[in-house]
């Protein structure tokens, strides 16, 4: 039976559990928008939604979409069956207003509020195509630029307007594309990027009650007997996955950001971030890896 946690530690955990973020790790939605025009290098201007002829032309000029496996970039259509075009070959006309609207919807749904919501920019990464049978097994994206999540849009609809479906999620979230049953799935994949640093400690959305509860828990920790205080060091796990490149106070995601801001905002703690690596030599001796987009 594990030893009972000290009262101050339980109090601190309860105070942190009470700190909630208003957003989610992912966001999806539908909206009607003015029909954009798609210009592809080597093909010219293409109407959206796509005709059968234009869909076939896109597939013809697209390249097989690879994926990351460990430290390598590979192709295996049993894992990912689809094609792609680089952003440098794609231009969209009559799209900017719709893109800004979808970006704001995504930012709001992900719970990015106040000053942090300013300066978030959507940058086109790829045009992806999945025809009938196309799929991508469960995987996790790598961050292509320092910033926020990845995002995709799909379009279908009547002449003059299109119905767009969009999805936004943090890059470390596992996801998959189920096999396409019919037709052609065309996705504009964007990186959402924060173009400026976050502005200091931000306790926006945290109630005075939450902040006082947290401060009371820290004071109880300070007053605890030395045998219970654990050297005045406590490690709290983060919910999202980070790398040495993107781990920073300004780069924390979702609830991680809200909870750490609460710890910083109480003014009684020295808060640091760190990565913990667990090495398992016996497991590492076996061939293995994880899928990355």
For the chain, 293 residues long, the average pLDDT of each consecutive 10-residue run is: 73 81 81 89 88 92 89 90 96 91 88 72 92 91 62 53 84 87 92 71 64 84 72 79 80 82 84 83 49 55
**Claim to verify: residue 12 and residue 51 sit in the same structural domain:** no
Looking at residue 289, its pLDDT comes to 44
Altogether, the residues listed in the chain come to a count of 293
Structural domain harbouring 132? 26-194
Q: Where are the alpha helices (DSSP H) in the chain?
A: 7-17, 52-61, 96-109, 208-223, 226-229, 254-265, 281-284
**Claim to verify: residue 109 and residue 166 sit in the same structural domain:** yes
**Claim to verify: residue 124 and residue 255 sit in the same structural domain:** no
Looking at residue 288, its pLDDT comes to 39
The model's pTM is 0.70
**Claim to verify: residue 165 and residue 91 sit in the same structural domain:** yes
> What would the two tokens of residue 138 be?
């469960």
Question: Among all chains, which residue has been given the structure tokens 């996801």?
Answer: 175
Exposed e or buried b per residue across 243-263, where buried means at least 16 C-beta atoms within 10 angstroms of its C-beta:
eeebeebebbbbbbbbbbbbb
277, 282, 288, 293: CA torsion to nearest 10: 0
Angle, CA of 185, 24 and 202, to the nearest 5°: 130
Overall domain count for the chain: 2
Please report whether residue 34 resides in a domain: yes
**Claim to verify: residue 68 and residue 180 sit in the same structural domain:** yes
Looking at residue 268, its pLDDT comes to 83
Which of the listed residues 194, 217, 234 is the one where a domain comes to its end? 194
Looking at residue 286, its pLDDT comes to 40
Please report whether residue 33 resides in a domain: yes
Please report whether residue 279 resides in a domain: no
**Claim to verify: residue 241 and residue 139 sit in the same structural domain:** no
**Claim to verify: residue 214 and residue 128 sit in the same structural domain:** no
């Amino acid at each position: 039976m594990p030893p009972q946690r000290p009262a101050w530690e339980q109090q601190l955990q309860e105070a942190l559990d009470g700190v909630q973020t208003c957003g989610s790790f992912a966001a999806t939605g539908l909206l009607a928008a003015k029909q954009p025009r798609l210009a592809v290098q080597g093909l010219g201007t293409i109407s959206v939604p796509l005709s059968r002829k234009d869909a076939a032309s896109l597939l013809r000029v697209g390249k097989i979409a690879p994926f990351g496996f460990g430290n390598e970039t590979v192709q295996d259509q049993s894992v990912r069956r689809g094609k792609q075009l680089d952003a440098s070959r794609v231009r969209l006309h009559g799209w900017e207003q719709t893109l800004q609207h979808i970006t704001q919807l995504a930012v709001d749904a992900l719970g990015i509020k106040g000053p942090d919501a300013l300066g978030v920019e959507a940058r086109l990464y790829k045009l992806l195509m999945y025809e009938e049978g196309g799929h991508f097994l469960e995987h996790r994206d790598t961050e292509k630029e320092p910033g926020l999540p990845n995002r995709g849009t799909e379009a279908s609809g009547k002449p003059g307007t299109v119905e767009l479906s969009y999805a936004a999620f943090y890059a470390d979230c596992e996801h998959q594309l189920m096999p396409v049953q019919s037709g052609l799935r065309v996705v504009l994949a964007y990186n959402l990027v924060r173009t400026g640093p976050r502005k200091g400690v931000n306790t926006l959305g945290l109630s005075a009650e939450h902040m006082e509860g947290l401060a009371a828990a820290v004071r109880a920790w300070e007053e605890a007997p030395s045998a219970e205080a654990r050297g005045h060091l406590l490690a709290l796990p983060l919910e999202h996955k980070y790398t040495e490149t993107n781990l920073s106070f300004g780069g924390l995601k979702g609830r991680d950001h809200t909870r750490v801001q609460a710890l910083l905002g109480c003014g009684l703690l020295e808060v640091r971030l760190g990565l913990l690596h667990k090495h398992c030599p016996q497991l590492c001796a076996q061939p293995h890896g994880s899928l990355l987009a």
